[in-house]
Chain A
Amino acid sequence: MTGTLLFFGGLVAFALWWLSRQGLAAKPWLESGVPGDAPAGDTTISAAKIGLAIFMAVVSTLLVLLLSAYSMRMEMADWSPPPRPGLLWANTAVLVLASIALHHAVHAAKRGRRDAVASSLLVGGTAGLFFVLGQLLAWRELASAGYLPANNPADAFFYLITALHGLHLLGGLVALGRTGTTLRRAPLARLQLSLELCASYWHFLMAAWIVLFVALAFAPPLDWLVALCTAPLR
């Protein structure tokens, strides 16, 4: 709950900061003419990047709400989290590798080296696939140890959170695949944009996974934060 409020507080603060720079105090009824030579929309950043940023904000909202439900449920007495499969560490490492590889791909594209782009993309994509496979193996490991979704809410949350993250990752893989297929023929400038978008999304997926992993595996107590925020009410 606290996390959700902080997250939304952050979003609202950003929105207000952005709006405050948009001349909302203007008096349009007193003005005519064209202000400046620039088009009104900010075209220094490509539309696709802004679109992706907004999409990532929406996905973050989804995950934050899920985590907030998770943490609310965690406080109840019968909470018994499943053991964390050691495989998750390896999966995390693989996802970090994917992220680094895509970072390299962007840099290689900047230097105009198609071969390096291709190899980085291949490493990144494969690592992404391995992450998904690793998550499935972790599921199997848990399931064969008897931790099924229907047993305990803690188990169910584990499956749900990993599944939703995995689905978004599969979407990322599709985008990566599409970028890969245009590798040979697309002009480098256009490729550059696609790669940057893919890399941003994978960095986001990695960061999201690390937050989720910490929440799932260690379930950090946030009592102090709750105590701090509810202090004025007591």
Chain B
Amino acid sequence: MSELAHGADGPIPAAEVPEMELPHPHGWWTTYVFSQDAKVIGIQYSLTALAIGMVALVLSWLMRLQLGFPGTFSFIDPQAYYQFITMHGMIMVVYLLTALFLGGFGNYLIPLMLGARDMVFPFVNMLSYWIYLLAVLVLVASFFVPGGPTGAGWTLYPPQAILTGTPGRDWGIVLMLVSLCLFIAGFTMGGLNYVVTVLQARTRGMTLMRMPLTIWGILTATVMALLAFPALFVGAVMLLLDRVLGTSFFMPTLVEMGQQLRYGGGSPILFQHLFWFFGHPEVYIVALPAFGIVSDLISTHARRNIFGYRMMVWAIVVIGALSFVVWAHHMYVSGMHPWFGFFFATTTLIIAIPTAIKVYNWLLTLWHGNIHLNVPMLFALGFIVTFVNGGLTGLFLGNVVVDVPLSDTMFVVAHFHMVMGVAPVMVIFGGMYHWYPKVTGRMLDSAMGKVHFWVTFLGAYAIFFPMHYLGLLGVPRRYYEIGETSFVPASAHDLNAFISVVALVVGAAQMLFLFNLIWSLWHGKDAGPNPWRATTLEWQTPETPPGHGNWGRELPVVYRWAYDYAVPGVEQDFVPQNQPLPPRAQVAKGDATP
């Protein structure tokens, strides 16, 4: 190891990072409800996202009941089925995954991992959460309005999204669009905070290249979200105007039931471009924080420095940039100039390169590591396997000629559930088991955790593996009921029933997780400040759970990168980032493995 500026002769004076004024709470309401502490806001975001995620989980149960046992449940009519699909998709992608990764993990971890006291704009940060909550409430309200929530499919494609005959055409679609606009406004407030905090509030010694990969993932995803969400915002506002004021941004000339509608001249394809210009980066807005978190989980629980840290950072940035030039691969079946198809297929396949670099680096980090198969590690491993699985089918679907026949089949459902459903959720669980001890001071019960993992992991495969096969058979997605179709064999119906039963079981396993979250609050083992013996700053706080302002009197000073595990020649198997010198003598330059 080489020494930078300061000598090896002991501690450095306290950090000269300018102290920020913290808005200190004055009582119960400002401590726990209208709190401006990023940690409380992070917990609020997480709990709200989990709550609305439970709604989406129940919706998926209802959908599976219909698909597995068509006609058995009289309350699921075609209209309700489409509403379930739409709300399930939108809630899971936007209100659960995006909010939980950026709002939840982002708020909790960014200041702690960077050695900051709080986010740079605490008030705006608080506002961000409350607007998010409002967006969620508006969305939930659509279940209770006449006509129910919209059933336009989570992509909300016009013209059908706002035509009569689509469920929720009267109120549901309006509330959905308003809720999305609110969400975006709220997210922008949070996003500004995350980016400026990373740029400005890092403690002394925390260079960009010493940041944990979690922060790199969240930072890049936030920048992407800030640039991608405006596209959804524009699309949502224009669609809203089409619906409410009768403009024709997206609505072509239409004849409905023999009646010429007043619309005319709009372009539905324009909406698709706007939607997917947001929609594809959205995949990576969810995936990049997951990549970052999983890197930290693997390194910590395999007691080994992350392999190819630099390459990991570069790959995150490259994936972020590339994800803006692939959106039209969601639109192959909408028809496009062949050159466009060629271009977008090429860019799509190129993304596989930085992604594969990350996967190899995770595997090489595990190689010869001291792998602790505890619950966070299990989920991290589950993520790698699932992400590779989902990514490989992505290579199929990225090609125009393969995508066109498969596009409207269950194959696509299987692909995106693997790659952006199950895989990020694995990381969310892994992250929660990993950081729960810091948040609450107690460990989650690991026996329950292992049951939760195995049921979820094996169950997810039992659900989504057969779906690939159904898709190859030609079983269409989005259909309420297949009925008697000549090319669908009877065995496909049995498979559908099997998938539905497993889906119920996997859903039930999540209740165990929720129970664990609550039970461990009182009965969990005492965690102590650093139960995983991890190097990053959040584990070095003077109090657990950390108090308001995080660091007591003085900010920590960072002396090293985040992955000094099993450093050769050092007795302790980890060296925290804020520790000036390892207990033993310095190692000769070049000994440390990259």
Q: In this assembly, does B346 line the interface, its C-beta being within 8 Å of a C-beta of chain A?
A: no
Interchain nearest-CB distance for A79 vs B (Å): 8
Q: Is the CB of B196 within 8 A of A50?
A: yes
Q: In this assembly, does A220 line the interface, its C-beta being within 8 Å of a C-beta of chain B?
A: no
Q: In this assembly, does B475 line the interface, its C-beta being within 8 Å of a C-beta of chain A?
A: no
Residue of B nearest to A23 (CB): B209
Contact of B199 among A41, A58, A149 (CB under 8 A): A41
Q: Is the CB of A150 within 8 A of B248?
A: yes
Q: Is the CB of A51 within 8 A of B121?
A: yes
Interface string of B191-234 (1 = CB under 8 A from A): 11101100111111111111000000000000100110011011
One of B12-20, B55-63, B92-100, B540-548 at the interface: B12-20
Q: Is the CB of A153 within 8 A of B249?
A: yes
Residues on B with C-beta less than 8 A from A218 are none
CA distance A75 to B83 in the complex (A): 36
On chain B, the number of residues with a Cβ less than 8 Å from chain A's Cβ atoms is 76
Q: Is the CB of B2 within 8 A of A30?
A: yes
Q: In this assembly, does A42 line the interface, its C-beta being within 8 Å of a C-beta of chain B?
A: yes
Q: In this assembly, does B270 line the interface, its C-beta being within 8 Å of a C-beta of chain A?
A: yes
Q: Which of A32, A34, A51, A152 has the most CB of B within 10 A?
A: A32
Interface string of A3-27 (1 = CB under 8 A from B): 0000010011001000100111111
Main secondary structure of the interface of A (DSSP, over half): helix
Q: Is the CB of A153 within 8 A of B247?
A: yes
Q: In this assembly, does A54 line the interface, its C-beta being within 8 Å of a C-beta of chain B?
A: yes
Q: In this assembly, does B478 line the interface, its C-beta being within 8 Å of a C-beta of chain A?
A: no
Q: In this assembly, does A89 line the interface, its C-beta being within 8 Å of a C-beta of chain B?
A: no
CA distance A55 to B267 in the complex (A): 30
Q: Is the CB of A12 within 8 A of B321?
A: yes
* 125-148 of chain A: CB within 8 A of chain B: none
Q: In this assembly, does A227 line the interface, its C-beta being within 8 Å of a C-beta of chain B?
A: no
Q: Is the CB of B6 within 8 A of A33?
A: yes
Q: Is the CB of A40 within 8 A of B559?
A: no
Q: In this assembly, does B237 line the interface, its C-beta being within 8 Å of a C-beta of chain A?
A: yes
Residue of B nearest to A80 (CB): B265
CA distance A48 to B193 in the complex (A): 10
Q: Which of A33, A43, A48 has the most CB of B within 10 A?
A: A33
Contact of B241 among A24, A40, A160 (CB under 8 A): A160
Q: Is the CB of A156 within 8 A of B209?
A: no
Known: A27-B594, A69-B238, A156-B241. A50 touches B200 (CB 8 A): yes
Q: Is the CB of B196 within 8 A of A32?
A: no
Residues on B with C-beta less than 8 A from A33 are 3-6, 205, 559
One of A60-68, A104-112, A191-199 at the interface: A60-68
Interchain nearest-CB distance for B587 vs A (Å): 10
CB within 8 Å: A-B pair count: 190
Q: In this assembly, does A233 line the interface, its C-beta being within 8 Å of a C-beta of chain B?
A: yes
CA distance A61 to B233 in the complex (A): 11
One of B128-136, B307-315, B524-532 at the interface: B307-315
Residues on A with C-beta less than 8 A from B581 are 32
Q: In this assembly, does B324 line the interface, its C-beta being within 8 Å of a C-beta of chain A?
A: yes
Interchain nearest-CB distance for B314 vs A (Å): 7
Q: Is the CB of A35 within 8 A of B270?
A: no
CA distance A43 to B557 in the complex (A): 16
Q: Is the CB of A34 within 8 A of B559?
A: yes
Q: Is the CB of A40 within 8 A of B202?
A: yes
Contact of B234 among A34, A55, A69 (CB under 8 A): A69
CA distance A61 to B270 in the complex (A): 17
Q: Is the CB of B559 within 8 A of A32?
A: yes
Known: A33-B3, A65-B230, A149-B241. A47 touches B201 (CB 8 A): yes
CA distance A104 to B82 in the complex (A): 58
Q: Is the CB of B561 within 8 A of A29?
A: yes
CA distance A31 to B562 in the complex (A): 11
Q: Is the CB of B310 within 8 A of A54?
A: no
Q: Is the CB of B6 within 8 A of A43?
A: no
Residues on A with C-beta less than 8 A from B205 are 33-35, 40
Interchain nearest-CB distance for B3 vs A (Å): 5
Q: Is the CB of A61 within 8 A of B227?
A: yes
Residues on B with C-beta less than 8 A from A42 are 199-200
Q: Is the CB of B4 within 8 A of A35?
A: yes
Residues on A with C-beta less than 8 A from B245 are 149-150, 156
Interchain nearest-CB distance for B427 vs A (Å): 23
Shortest Cβ-Cβ A-B pairs, 9 listed: A28-B561, A33-B4, A156-B247, A62-B230, A150-B246, A40-B202, A34-B205, A39-B17, A41-B200
Instruction: List 4 additional A-B contacts (Cβ < 8 Å) besides A39-B17, A40-B207, A51-B121.
Output: A39-B203, A58-B192, A58-B230, A73-B267
| Residues in chain B within 8 A of chain A (CB atoms) | 1-6, 12, 15-18, 120-121, 188, 191-193, 195-196, 199-210, 223, 226-227, 230-231, 233-234, 237-238, 241, 245-249, 262, 264-267, 270, 274, 277, 305, 309-310, 313-314, 317, 321, 324, 339, 557-561, 563-564, 581, 589-590, 592-594
